[in-house]
Amino acid sequence: MFWLAEGLIYRSQESSFHSLDPRTKLFFSIMLFSMSLLSNTIPEFIIILSVILFIGLVSKVLKRMSKTIVFSISFLVMIFIINVLVGYDIIFSIIVSLRFIAVVSSSSIFFLTSSPDELELVMKSFRLPYDLIFAFVTAVRFVPVIMLDALQILDSQRSRGLEIEKGNLMKRIKNYLPVLVPLIVQSIIRSEELAEAMESRAYGFSKKKTSYYSLHLRKRDYLAFILCLIFIIQFILIIYLLHI
């Protein structure tokens, strides 16, 4: 389970890409994501994937990005096989599979290089409702805590003779109840305690909030935008030339 998490969870790191304003990083991701959806030929995908690879190298997240891709290989193979079986030709099936990798890895770039703090600020800058933002932040903050809870619950129940590895499928499913019920109950209790704490710190005082932190676009962000635009223009030109 850990390698799925590896590909999506932010880890603190230093790189020129990491230091960009999260909105810039988001722009990169969205641009690559859209290009992946709009492209139709193998050369286009080779270019897109090389750019993604390059960004992955610069931001030093390549290793973890590749882990997500490895995880999605099974889907990839499935997509490929289904396409072929349904009757599409091999080239088309390859393109569909490549599109899948491009879409997954371009989104993964944003999440791997942006901390939850930055995600929060991006959402704030888009004026999303604060309740939604706060729900997101709380979820990310407490996911590791809930995972720890689950492990402790498992320890308690195993100490009472619960053996989750044993038995047929029905028994195994039944064995998850002693773990799930306490987990759910604890999560509910946790959310009640959180609600108390939130209100006690003036959550909901007024719609007008100040923000101690803010996002600022800097020279490097403008530079990155320009590079991005140049890339898009060149990409369109190349494709146009290839089609002639």
Partner 1 sequence: METLAPIIQFVDFSFSYSNSSSPILKNVNLGINEGEFILLVGTSGCGKSTLLRCVNGLIPHLYNGTYQGKVIVDGEIVSEKNVSELATKVGFVFQNPENQIFMFSVEKDIVFGLENIGVEREEIRRRLDWVLKSLNIEHLRYRAPYELSDGQKQRVAIAGTLVMHPKILILDEPTSLLDPRTAYEFILTLKRLNKELGITVIVVEHRIDLLTNVADRIVVMDNGKILHDGSLKDIIRLKDLHLHGVAVPPIVALQNSLSESKIHLPNFCLNVKDFAKMIKKEASNR
Partner 2 sequence: MIEIDSLYFKYPTAKDYILKNINLKIGLGEVVAIMGSNGSGKTTLIKHFNGLLKPNQGSVKVFGKDTHDESVASLSKKVGLVFQNPGHQIFSDTVWNELAFALKNFGLEEEVIKKRVKWALEFFNLTQYKDTSPLLLSGGEKKRLCLASVLAWNPNYVVLDEPTVGQDFLQKEKLREVIKMLITQDKSIVIVSHDVEFVWLLQPRLVLLSNGEIVKDDKCANVFRDKVSLERCGIINPQFVELQEELSFLISSPPIDVLESKTIFLEFLKGGI
Contact positions with partner 2 (CB under 8 A) in 173-212: 177-178, 181-182, 185-186, 189
**124/190 with CB nearer partner 2:** 190
215 binds, among partner 2, partner 1, none (CB under 5 to 8 A by kind): none
- Alpha carbons 207 and 166: distance in angstroms, whole number: 54
74 binds, among partner 1, partner 2, none (CB under 5 to 8 A by kind): none
Determine the size of the site formed for partner 2 (CB under 8 A). Answer: 19
Tally the residues of the chain: 244
The reply on whether position 160 binds partner 2 by CB under 8 A is: yes
Phi, psi angles (nearest 5°) of residue 33: -60, -50
202 binds, among partner 2, partner 1, none (CB under 5 to 8 A by kind): partner 1
- Alpha carbons 22 and 216: distance in angstroms, whole number: 10
The reply on whether position 117 binds partner 2 by CB under 8 A is: no
DSSP character string of 36-59? HHH--SHHHHHHHHHHHHHHHHHT
Q: Which residues bind partner 1 (CB under 8 A)?
A: 115-117, 134, 137-138, 140-141, 144-145, 190, 193-206, 208-213
The reply on whether position 155 binds partner 2 by CB under 8 A is: yes
Crossing angle (nearest 10°) for helices 42-58 and 62-86: 160
